[in-house]
Structure 1
Amino acid sequence: MLGRTASSLFWMSRYHERAQNVTKLLEVAYRGAIMSHTGQEHGTHWTFAMSCSGCDSDFSERYDELNLRNVVNFMVFSKDNPVSVRNSLELARNNARAVRTGITAELWEAINTTWIDFADVNPQTITQEKLPDFLAWTNQRSHLFRGALLNTILRDDGYFFSQMGNFVERADNTVRILNTQYYSLLPDNDIVDDGSMERYQWSAILRALSGRRSYRFAYPNARLKPFNIAEFLILRREMPRSLAHCYHWLSDTAEDLGQFYGSREPSLDMAKEIALSLSEKQMREIYQEGLHEFLTDFIGRNNLFAQKLSEDYNFA
């Protein structure tokens, strides 16, 4: 496979995953904004969404007021925001179009119709009342893309590069949310009142990563606790957005790719090493080493893996 083809498939999946991640953050922020929380300041919920996506400073440079209209314009529709839903969907579609003959009709249809329908939306029509349905639609379109990918694509190198793009982006999103909110997951916050700021932040983290209900299944007899939440989102492989789950998939996909080509590039071994390091970790060790330090180091390792993968397979 040509390097530019591998690159397009990798980024096609990565951008679609990014669009969904930003959408989930906005869903959580909107939910928080319409509910009353003890100690919550005006704009805290929108700040949560923007800081987790890494665009809070860019927003501050462009807008004087933190409100729903400005946040939605910037996070969803802005051409100037690199991580906006608009830019992510458009770039996903552009990458898919570059490899149009290498993907299935079902996958192309899911990507192309999503972009066409999104591009037809007038941002001014997305009022506070209509925002939840619009975000739900965007989220569902990401699920449609993922379903078409998993159910129609041949299990060859194109599929493997697509999978890698998806899980590199997912791991990046999870670790950045955790790192932005790491202070609320420290052991000192283990005992709090039900109406506390920390409890809201814990719920927001879980909801942003689609884990609020599955947490209850994983810890059926435990209330929300920072130790459990951190363990759930870092080390529990059964949680689809945990770091361990992402690198379990990346390691397995790297193995498949190596077998497909009959050779192993350094990046494939790197994925296996990261997955193994997570499987051997205990949450208490991570706390002892420093949660913030662990998460910051993981961001670097995840970025390095993606960079090394692009070098090994000559991404254009």
Structure 2
Amino acid sequence: MLTRIANSLYWTGRYLERSEHLARYLRVQYFSMQDIPMQDSRAFTLRSIERMYKGDNDPEKTLSEAEVLRSVGMSYEEPSSIRSTVRLARENARALRHVISTELWESINAFYLYCNNFSPDFFVTHGLHEFTSEVGRCCAIIRSRLDDTLLQDETWTLMKLGIHLERAVQLLRILLSKLYDIEEMNARGDNPILRQYQGTVILKILEGFDLHQQIYHQPLSPQTTVDFLVAHPQFARSATYNLRAVTTLIERLDGNAPEKNPVLFQAGKLFHYFRYLEYAEVEDDLVGQLSKALDSVYALHDAIQARYFGESE
């Protein structure tokens, strides 16, 4: 397969997965401010959204709700917006029409058309929940088309590789964004119950709240949250689950060749780090440890890019 085609398959998967996580973060974080009895809950929520989308961590910055929502949801000028991410997925997929199924292409194209035709003014005033929920529904349809209408060959493997690596990236970014929120609340001396509620928000963003309750049978705590989201091998959004998938997919790309593959070795080490992470070893510097882990996932991407595509995105 041409490296250009392989690269487009990988990035189609990454952009699709990214759009869903961005949409879920925006929906859950935005509507959570209605449940927080804080004097400046709106400003706090908008700062959190800005941090997740743009990496902006200035607590003194004055934010306009309409401008923030339009920028992160609808703006094509903002490369990290939901709309921009969906357009990038569609642009990559358009170059793949000769290697992917008609059904998969049509579902990706329909997703783009829905986002492109959605009114930015309606999104800002009334349409946020509708739009972000539809993003999740469209991504679920696309994943089903990927699994049901393609052979599980190199094409399927590369798209799945992009999906699972991006899912690990977004998990860590969401955790870090919410930990910064908690640090901000600590600095202001906010009610501990409000800080604890941020753990609930994290789990709802990642659609793991109910599963967490079923598994642990105890009040939510920082330890159970980290154990579940990072180390649990059977939760499909956990770091462990997705790094195991990445490792398996890299093995498929190599055809289980006997010679040592440094990228596979790198992925395997990262999988085992997440799988056997002990909360007690990281709790004193959780932000620092998760930041290092995120850097390691980015480094794994760089290694994948260099070995299989021979270029950088």
1:158 and 1:264, CA in 2 relative to 1: closer, same or farther beyond 3 A? farther
> What aligned pairs does 1:160-309 form with structure 2 within 5 A after superposition?
160-182=157-179, 196-220=193-217, 222-259=218-255, 265-287=261-283, 290-309=285-304
Aligned equivalents of 2:2 and 2:260: distance in 1?
17
1:135 and 1:314, CA in 2 relative to 1: closer, same or farther beyond 3 A? closer
Aligned equivalents of 2:197 and 2:276: distance in 1?
31
Aligned to 1:84: 81
> What aligned pairs does 1:70-109 form with structure 2 within 5 A after superposition?
70-109=67-106
- CA contact 1:13–1:163 (8 Å) conserved in 2: yes
Aligned to 2:63: 65
Range with greater deviation from structure 2 (119-128 or 292-301): 119-128
> What aligned pairs does 1:117-132 form with structure 2 within 5 A after superposition?
117-132=114-129
Aligned equivalents of 1:112 and 1:8: distance in 2?
15
Aligned equivalents of 1:113 and 1:210: distance in 2?
25
| Superposition TM-score, scaled by structure 2 size | 0.89
Aligned equivalents of 2:232 and 2:296: distance in 1?
19
- CA contact 2:36–2:194 (8 Å) conserved in 1: no
Aligned equivalents of 1:53 and 1:124: distance in 2?
20
- CA contact 1:52–1:177 (8 Å) conserved in 2: yes
Gaps of 5+ in 2: none
Aligned equivalents of 1:87 and 1:236: distance in 2?
32
AA aligned opposite 2:119: N
- CA contact 2:72–2:80 (8 Å) conserved in 1: yes
1:314 and 1:112, CA in 2 relative to 1: closer, same or farther beyond 3 A? same
Can you list the C-alpha shifts for 1:118-139, whole angstroms capped at 9, x where unaligned? Answer: 2112211225433212211111
1:115 and 1:249, CA in 2 relative to 1: closer, same or farther beyond 3 A? same
Can you list the C-alpha shifts for 1:228-287, whole angstroms capped at 9, x where unaligned? Answer: 101111111122111111101111112222216776642122111211222233222233
Aligned to 2:306: 311
- CA contact 1:38–1:195 (8 Å) conserved in 2: no
1:4 and 1:130, CA in 2 relative to 1: closer, same or farther beyond 3 A? same
- CA contact 1:53–1:83 (8 Å) conserved in 2: yes
Q: Helix, strand or coil for the counterpart of 1:134?
A: helix
Can you list the C-alpha shifts for 1:111-160, whole angstroms capped at 9, x where unaligned? Answer: 00111122112211225433212211111111111111122221111111
Aligned equivalents of 2:15 and 2:281: distance in 1?
33
Gaps of 5+ in 1: none
1:154 and 1:263, CA in 2 relative to 1: closer, same or farther beyond 3 A? farther
Q: Helix, strand or coil for the counterpart of 1:130?
A: helix
Q: Helix, strand or coil for the counterpart of 2:174?
A: helix
Aligned equivalents of 2:132 and 2:211: distance in 1?
21
Using the aligned pairs only, state the percent identity.
25
Aligned equivalents of 2:225 and 2:7: distance in 1?
34
Aligned to 2:45: 45
1:280 and 1:42, CA in 2 relative to 1: closer, same or farther beyond 3 A? closer
- CA contact 1:3–1:314 (8 Å) conserved in 2: yes
> What aligned pairs does 1:137-156 form with structure 2 within 5 A after superposition?
137-156=134-153
| Residue 5 of structure 2 corresponds to residue 2 of structure 1 | no
Aligned equivalents of 2:162 and 2:305: distance in 1?
11
Range with greater deviation from structure 2 (296-305 or 150-159): 150-159
Q: Helix, strand or coil for the counterpart of 1:56?
A: coil
Instruction: After TM superposition, give the deviation of residue 37 of structure 1 in Å.
Output: 2.5
Aligned equivalents of 2:42 and 2:181: distance in 1?
19
Instruction: After TM superposition, give the deviation of residue 315 of structure 1 in Å.
Output: 4.4
- How many residues are treated as equivalent by the alignment? 306
- CA contact 2:20–2:135 (8 Å) conserved in 1: yes
Aligned equivalents of 2:191 and 2:9: distance in 1?
45
1:96 and 1:167, CA in 2 relative to 1: closer, same or farther beyond 3 A? same
- CA contact 1:172–1:302 (8 Å) conserved in 2: yes
1:128 and 1:122, CA in 2 relative to 1: closer, same or farther beyond 3 A? closer
1:202 and 1:155, CA in 2 relative to 1: closer, same or farther beyond 3 A? same
